[in-house]
């Protein structure tokens, strides 16, 4: 199928599960994950009205940005290395994968120099799986989250996770529910945290993510096809 048909299908799925979950239409934002895909496919999606794209690697995004219309917004969804932070702050409008105080402080420092406030999500390894990056929700996480909130050049939109690696819908839903509960706990614990956004859900677990409160879903293969 075409990019147009794929985008339409994904948007219809999002709308359906918003309705099924009793949520307001349009409460879930679609981030089209274009990592490893040629810029030509991104432009096809752009011509269908898509403006938000997720990239995994700073260098790849830097090259693509030069060829994309100015109103395209790029989000970083992959692990951010310390030596790539400066470039990332120039390229991306949002970083979904902040997984340490060290990285948060570096983003804050560079954004201070740029005169920019960076939107971020704090990544949580909510399923506590060895293959995933992100904070384990323990006392260290709470301590560092409190310090991240104090960084003046960061706007903490909320939390991000990858769902449990399982084919069992209940297990996947439970992992997403844990992130929602954790976010509520953080809002109760830290009065200066007002983040209402949850970055969770991909092509294979959209229903579970939307049902459990996701506000931004990261969809790649259902739009652009399988990874190269």
Q: Show the tokens assigned to 214.
A: 């996701």
Q: Which residues contact 87 (CB under 8 A, 6 or more apart)?
A: 58, 59, 62
- What average pLDDT score do residues 196-208 get? 96
- What average pLDDT score do residues 180-191 get? 97
pLDDT band for position 226 (50/70/90)?
A: confident
pLDDT band for position 131 (50/70/90)?
A: confident
Question: Cβ of 124: how many Cβ atoms within 10 Å?
Answer: 25
- What average pLDDT score do residues 181-209 get? 97
Q: Tens of pLDDT along 21-51?
A: 999 999 999 999 999 999 999 999 999 999 9
CB-neighbour burial class of residue 43 (10 A; exposed 0-12, middle 13-18, buried 19+): middle
Q: Tens of pLDDT along 52-65?
A: 999 999 999 999 99
Percentage of the residues of the chain whose pLDDT score is greater than 70: 99
> What domains does the chain contain, in order, with CATH numbers?
3-224 (3.20.20.10)
Which alpha helices (H) appear in 92-215, and where do they start and end?
Answer: 101-114, 139-149, 169-189, 206-211
Q: Is the dihedral of CA 61, 62, 66, 69 positive or negative?
A: positive
């Amino acid at each position: 199928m075409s990019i147009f048909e794929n985008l339409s299908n994904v948007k219809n799925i999002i709308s359906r599960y918003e309705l099924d979950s009793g949520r307001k239409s349009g409460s879930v934002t679609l981030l089209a994950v274009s990592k490893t895909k040629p810029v030509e496919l991104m432009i096809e999606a752009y011509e269908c009205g898509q403006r938000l794209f997720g990239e995994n690697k700073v260098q790849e995004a830097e090259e693509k940005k030069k060829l994309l219309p100015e109103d395209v917004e790029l989000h970083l969804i992959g692990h951010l290395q310390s030596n790539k932070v400066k470039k990332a702050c120039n390229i991306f409008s949002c970083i979904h994968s902040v997984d340490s105080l060290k990285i948060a402080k570096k983003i804050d420092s560079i954004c201070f120099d740029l005169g920019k406030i960076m939107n971020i999500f704090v990544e949580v390894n909510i399923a506590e799986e060895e293959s995933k990056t992100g904070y384990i929700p323990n006392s260290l996480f709470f301590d560092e989250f409190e310090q991240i909130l104090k960084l003046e050049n960061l706007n903490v939109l909320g939390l991000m996770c990858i769902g449990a690696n399982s084919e069992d819908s209940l297990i996947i839903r439970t992992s997403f529910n844990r992130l929602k509960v954790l976010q509520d706990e953080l809002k109760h614990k830290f009065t200066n945290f007002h983040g209402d956004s949850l970055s969770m859900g991909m092509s294979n677990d959209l229903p579970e993510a939307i049902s459990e409160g996701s506000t931004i879903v990261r969809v790649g293969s259902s739009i652009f096809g399988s990874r190269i």
